[in-house]
Amino acid sequence: MSQRIQFSQHGGPEVLEQIETQIPAPAAGEVRVRNHAIGLNFIDTYFRSGLYAPPSLPSGLGTEGAGVIEALGEGVDQWQIGDRVAYATGPLGAYAEHHVLPAQHLVKLPEAISFEQAAAVMLKGLTTQYLLRQVYPLQAGETILFHAAAGGVGSIACQWAKALGAKLIGVVGSEEKAERAKALGAWETIDRTREDVVQRVLELTDGQKCPVVYDSVGKSSWEISLDCVAPRGLLVSFGNASGAVTGVNLGVLAQKGSLFVTRPILAGYADTAPRLQAMAAELFEMIESGRIKVEIGQRFALGEAAEAQRLLAEGRTTGSTILLP
């Protein structure tokens, strides 16, 4: 038998329940991974709350984990039983002792990176890779703005931007988080609870603003972000922590300087196995070289998933949070 977390209705963390099921068998083209560690991410709360709709209810939760291949479906010849693997895309259901997913969503995990490190960094690290290396290929010397710079993705972005020679201005929600972002490599920080973000960006950039702004907060920061983008610059909206951005007026983009806006997701960039492998290889190289350090701020047992999500939603976590089956 196998333990898994599921939900039968949308709502708060309390709708999550731990159940016992038969160990799933992989179909053709699939593999079964025995998870050693599972990643917790803000997007998981979107599926639970109903902001994003799962295929059906009841539904499993989570798309990120790391472990060992336990069984292969028909036609899977690129993997072997016993291989160390990690994943960040594919069907919901990673909050479980065993997870079955299509083989193309797996990446080989180097021996130098632990299961816990991989589960803590795969989704956030691959997200950072496509944000800084694909959506807007960041160049040395550029000054950028990154919201939630002390959060899961932000903490990796601070390190990656510094490694690229870029100057990252991190927007944070407290003095403590400002110190954390600076320690991770942010060039400067702005505490949105006591500073005017737009005014500080103007001061820090000598009135030039930023060629790219990365915003995972969403609704409450949308207008602020637009006012921080330089003419003909890009606003990358990649999250909804404060709610979804709605009612976008395209005319505003013209008024504020012929701006560009994009709403990317990881699946749109890691959309083939070769692209996923290349992204993961770059991420793993950054970790193995020491330019990115993986910080696991919290560890919870699988059955404590509801509490872990509650703390994440309340902004009471630092670094990455993982579940241990």
Predicted confidence at residue 272, as pLDDT, reads: 95
Q: For 204-211, what is the mean pLDDT? A: 98
Longest dimension (CA), the chain: 62
For domain 140-263, give the CATH number: 3.40.50.720
Residues 6+ apart with CB under 8 A from 236: 131, 135, 136, 212, 213, 214, 215, 262, 264
What whole-number percentage of the chain has pLDDT above 70? 100
| Cα distance between residue 235 and residue 259, in whole Å | 8
pLDDT at 245 over 90: no
Residue 102: which H helix or E strand, with range?
strand 98-102
- Numbered ranges of CATH 3.90.180.10 in the chain: 2-121+273-324
In whole angstroms, what is the distance from residue 38 CA to residue 67 CA?
9
Is the peptide bond prior to 102 cis by the omega test (within 30 degrees of 0)? Answer: no
The pLDDT, as a whole number, for residue 241 is 77
SS3 313: helix
In the chain, DSSP finds a helix count (H) and a strand count (E) of 10, 16
Q: What would the mean pLDDT of 186-205 be, rounded to a whole number?
A: 97
Cα separation, 109 vs 95, whole angstroms: 19
d(CA 228, CA 188): 15
Order of all β-strands in the sheet with 2-7: 16-21, 2-7, 59-60
Distance of CA 260 to the CA centre of its chain: 22
Cβ-contact 6, 291 below 8 angstroms? no
- Tell me the mean pLDDT in the region 97-113: 97
At 244 the pLDDT is: 81
User: What does the pLDDT average to over 227-249?
Assistant: 91
Q: Report which of residues 317 and 68 the model is more confident about.
A: 68
Cβ neighbours of 191 (radius 10 Å): 17
CATH class label, 2-121+273-324: alpha beta
Q: Could you give the residue range(s) of every CATH 3.40.50.720 domain in the chain?
A: 140-263
Query: How confident is the model at residue 152, as a pLDDT?
Result: 87
Which stretch of 33-42, 198-207, 243-252 has the lowest confidence by average pLDDT?
243-252
